[in-house]
Amino acid sequence: MKVLVATEKPFAAVAVEGIKKEIEGAGNELVLLEKYTDVAQLLDAVKDADAMIVRSDKVTPAVLDAAKNLKIVVRAGAGYDSIDTAYAKEKGVIVENTPGQNSNAVAELVFGLMVYAVRNFYNGKAGTELMGKKLGILAFGNVGRNVARVAKGFGMDVYAYDAFCPKEVIEEAGVKAVDSQEELFKNCDVVSLHIPATPETKQSINYNLVNMMKKGGMVVNTARKEVINEPELIKLMEERTDLKYITDIKPDADEEFAKFEGRYFSTPKKMGAQTAEANINAGIAAAKQINAYFKDGCTKFQVNK
Ligand code: 3PG
């Protein structure tokens, strides 16, 4: 079977080696398409692929239509909002993700961003510490749980809200569970977003919600840009000069946010999962899932059932 690894943002070389070993070790063939700049390159590469491993690469109806032999797409990562899962289902293509495999990397970046922000982007002026501050974790999935673990090491007071996770599970992890996202924003000095981009969450981080934060509040986004209502957040940050927005996903309105000097920062390119370890974990998990599908028909991680 031909397995295409299509990554506009490539995996670390050591992860590609591991994926190759895994795929070829099972008697399958690996084809690499990295750093493509035009969707035409992807459309051409998928033509004869039986399986595909992607990151945030957009798997649109056009890609699925071009991929005549495609049986399975594995998103090496957590969020699969970049894949048209419904259209894939219509075409009989299985879509899977690799939950948890890159979550520590994303969680570590949350703290890199937080320290950078509370120390005034290392401009030499006195900043603040994280110890004793209230951290709100919005969604207690794999990344949220890792953020909670690290936050305790920093001596932060950790709160979480998750619409789908029972409060007991949050409390068992030694984290204070609150009843709503409003309560989280009201209570906490920093809110770290870990919600997926779904029809329910898109633009849900809006003026009213963020305005509930105390003076000096900060929102850290390592989730998706789509969950932010950008025009409303810009309006709020114009009115409240105490608020900070720190993100790993460049907003569409990056230039407008950039005017909030000292209160806004975006990484140039989403890099939460950009570590060798996360690439190895997620990439090899994806390769193993593809091998298991071709060998035994295993679809344990299917997200478009
Ligand atoms: C994910 O959903 O797994 C993370 O956002 C990482 O995405 P990436 O593989 O595009 O860096």
Q: Is residue 22 included in any domain, yes or no?
A: yes
Q: Exposed, middle or buried, 148 (CB in 10 Å: 0-12/13-18/19+)? A: buried
**C-alpha–C-alpha distance, residues 3 and 174, integer Å:** 42
Nearest alpha carbon, ligand 1 atom 6: 273
Residue 301 lies in a domain: no
Of the candidates 243, 238, 273, 242, the residue with the CA atom closest to the CA atom of residue 253: 238
137 in a structural domain: yes
Query: Are residues 239 and 285 both part of a single domain?
Result: no
Residue 95 and residue 110 in one domain: no
Query: What is the 103 CA–ligand 1 centroid distance (Å)?
Result: 9
Is 164 within a domain? yes
**C-alpha closest to that of 274 among 143, 157, 129, 105:** 105
Cα–Cα nearest to 79, from 289, 303, 245: 303
Residue 218 has what pLDDT?
A: 98
Phi, psi (rounded to 5 degrees) for 136: -105, 125
Q: Tell me, what's the pLDDT at 24? A: 98
Q: Which residues pair with 190 in a beta bridge?
A: 135, 218
Please check whether residue 65 lies inside any domain of the structure.
yes
- Specify whether 76 is located in the same domain as 113: no
pLDDT score of 229: 99
Residue 200 counted as domain residue:
yes
Interatomic CA distance for residues 72 and 31, integer angstroms: 15
Q: Is 103 in the pocket of ligand 1 (CB under 6 A)?
A: no
- The answer, yes or no, to whether any atom of ligand 1 lies below 6 A from the CB of 283, is no
Q: Are residues 207 and 288 in the same domain?
A: no
Q: Quick one: 36 and 130 in the same domain?
A: no
Give the ipTM of the model, two decimals please: 0.98
Q: How far apart are CA 59 and CA 44, in angstroms?
A: 13
Q: Can you give the C-alpha Rg of the chain in angstroms?
A: 20
- Determine if ligand 1 sits within 6 Å of the CB of residue 224: no
Domain shared by 16 and 130, yes or no: no
Give residue 60's pLDDT: 98
Helix (H) or strand (E) holding 235: helix 230-239
Query: Based on the domain organization, do 152 and 243 belong to the same domain?
Result: yes
DSSP H helices in 71-141? 85-90, 103-118
pLDDT-derived band at 232, boundaries 50, 70, 90: very high
Give the rounded percent of residues in the chain with a pLDDT score beyond 70.
100
Ligand 1 neighbourhood includes 55 CB (under 6 angstroms): yes
Tell me: do 85 and 107 sit in the same domain. no
Quick one: pLDDT at residue 157?
98
Question: So what's the pLDDT on residue 193?
Answer: 99
Please check whether residues 119 and 63 belong to one and the same domain. no
Predicted local confidence at residue 166, as pLDDT:
97
Confirm whether 303 is domain-assigned. Answer: no
The closest residue, in CA terms, to atom 9 on ligand 1 is 55
- In this prediction, residue 138 carries a pLDDT of 99
- Give me the pLDDT at residue 205, please: 99
Residue 27 covered by a domain: yes
Residues 107 and 96 in one domain: no
Indicate the number of domains in the chain.
2
Question: Is the domain of 123 the same as that of 70?
Answer: no
Mind giving me the DSSP string for 161-207?
E-TTS-HHHHHHTT-EE-S-HHHHHHH-SEEEE-----TTTTT-B-H
C-beta 77 within 6 A of ligand 1? yes
pLDDT tens string 130-172: 999 999 999 999 999 999 999 999 999 999 999 999 999 999 9
User: Ligand 1 center to residue 127 CA distance, Å?
Assistant: 30
CATH number of the domain at 144, please. Answer: 3.40.50.720
Reported as a single tens digit per residue, the pLDDT across 247-272 is 999 999 999 999 999 999 999 999 99
**Ligand 1 atom 3: residue of nearest CA:** 77
Tens digit of each residue's pLDDT (9 = 90 or more) over 89-143: 999 999 999 999 999 999 999 999 999 999 999 999 999 999 999 999 999 999 9
241/118 same-domain check: yes
pLDDT at 212: 98
Name the residue range of residue 161's domain: 103-266
